[in-house]
Amino acid sequence: MKPINTFDVVVIGAGMAGITAAARLRSAGWSVCVLEKSHNPGGRMATRDKPEGCWDHGAQYFTAKSVEFRAQVQQWLAEGSVAQWKSPIAVWDGEQLSASRSRERFIGMPRMKSPLLDMAEGLHIVYNALVTQITHRTDDWIIEAANSIWCAHCVIIALPAPQTRALLPTGSEAHSVANSVEMEPCLALMMQASKPLGLPFAAAFVNEGILGWIAHNNRKPGRAAGEHYLLHATGEWSRQHLDASPEWVQSAMLAEFNRLLAHWLPGNKIPGVYPRYFHRWRFAKASSSAAHLKSVWPELGLALAGDWLGDGRIEAAYCSGLAAANALLNESVSVSASVTDTRPNIRTTEDKAPF
């Protein structure tokens, strides 16, 4: 097979980390190719768009703490691809509902991935291109995907940690970095109610039972009216039942939702709620962080990016993509992905939900 083309850099993965890195390098004048296994960009910033409605079934919202991400969010707000989500969010502790700590939460408009689509505009992205092998030669990289070969001086791997290590030789320093982080799964159920449920919140962190998060998707800005609900199971329960049949998982999650509705809507006749779609996120959230580890090898033209190089959220993915691109631009500078808070994940009770 002959190389399809030679680029300054090939970025593997079109999620927030990969698109941020690609956009930064393209704006610096590099020729960039992004290879993505799926048929569209966004990765875990995903929305299930169906005739009967839409569900954001991956990332639910994001926060912005670092200077660089806050500046980017301000730009998205001005352009309209992001809005602040101000609806009431509750915390359920098993006995009572309380209001979640007030904080600035942002969502993509009208879909979670909308800001990422803006950044991706004009980028050369090849879809349905599952990268199966990368090989370093003296001065360049050979990347194999979809029965084709790409050649590039640099490569950025912007994937979840397990998918990153699968592409790296065992024993290499980069492989050990990716090997240091495990990722938790998350089972997601998209549901529809036959009549308005009248829940006293737009979304809730659930700190008891098998569910971690419940959202009424239509109560996010920019979404059509409707009764579309999204349930995320906890990381622990998702791990235990990751390979159970979808029918079994759906009925267990639905039964749990109905149990919670009986608490939250006492004395009300609860309308029928029906499962519509189900998704298994195998690598939803990093259970530790590799923020303190090296993630760029300028002498090899290799950089890693992804949320697991920070605190496992969208902001970390963005910052890691920017850090990877800047480090390759500066060549001699060794930078590890940085977000303002690089401590290992510390969860408050409110945050027992997957995110």
Ligand X SMILES: Cc1cc2nc3c(=O)[nH]c(=O)nc-3n(C[C@H](O)[C@H](O)[C@H](O)COP(=O)(O)OP(=O)(O)OC[C@H]3O[C@@H](n4cnc5c(N)ncnc54)[C@H](O)[C@@H]3O)c2cc1C
DSSP, residue by residue, 220-287? STTPPSS-EEEEEE-HHHHHHTTTS-HHHHHHHHHHHHHHHHHHHSTTSPPPPEEEEEEEEEEEEEES
Specify the stretch interacting with ligand X by CB under 6 A; choose among 47-55, 214-222, 239-247, 279-287: 279-287
Tokens in use for 132?
């199966």
Tokens in use for 72?
């980017």
Task: Give CA–CA dist 157/155, Å, rounded.
Answer: 6
Residue from 10, 32, 33, 35 in contact with ligand X (CB under 6 A)? 35
* Torsion of Cα atoms, 255 then 231 then 87 then 223, to 10°: -120
141 lines the binding site for ligand X (CB under 6 A): no
* Burial zone of 65 (CB within 10 Å; 0-12 exposed, 13-18 middle, 19+ buried): middle
Residue from 21, 22, 131, 183 in contact with ligand X (CB under 6 A)? 131
28 lines the binding site for ligand X (CB under 6 A): no
At 235, give phi and psi (nearest 5°). -60, -40
Question: Of the candidates 251, 295, 6, 47, which has an alpha carbon nearest to the alpha carbon of residue 159?
Answer: 295
Specify the stretch interacting with ligand X by CB under 6 A; choose among 64-72, 76-84, 195-203, 307-315: 307-315
Residue from 156, 314, 322, 327 in contact with ligand X (CB under 6 A)? 314
- Nearest approach in angstroms of CB 269 to ligand X is 31
12 lines the binding site for ligand X (CB under 6 A): yes
Specify the stretch interacting with ligand X by CB under 6 A; choose among 10-18, 25-33, 235-243, 247-255: 10-18
Largest CA distance in the chain: 72
291 lines the binding site for ligand X (CB under 6 A): no
- The residue among 54 and 131 lying less far from ligand X, judged by its C-beta, is 131
Residue from 111, 216, 232, 352 in contact with ligand X (CB under 6 A)? 232
DSSP class of residue 7 equals: E
Task: Give CA–CA dist 90/5, Å, rounded.
Answer: 51
- The residue among 95 and 127 lying less far from ligand X, judged by its C-beta, is 127
- The residue among 168 and 196 lying less far from ligand X, judged by its C-beta, is 168
197 lines the binding site for ligand X (CB under 6 A): no
57 touches 46 (CB < 8 A): yes
Tokens in use for 200?
């006293």
Q: Which of residues 49-108 bind ligand X (CB under 6 A)?
A: 58-62
- Nearest approach in angstroms of CB 45 to ligand X is 5
17 lines the binding site for ligand X (CB under 6 A): yes
# residues contacting ligand X (CB under 6 A): 39
- Nearest approach in angstroms of CB 345 to ligand X is 12
Task: Give CA–CA dist 69/257, Å, rounded.
Answer: 35
Residues that bind ligand X (CB under 6 A): 12-18, 35-38, 43-45, 58-62, 130-131, 158-160, 163, 186, 188, 232, 281, 284-285, 306-307, 312-314, 317, 354-355
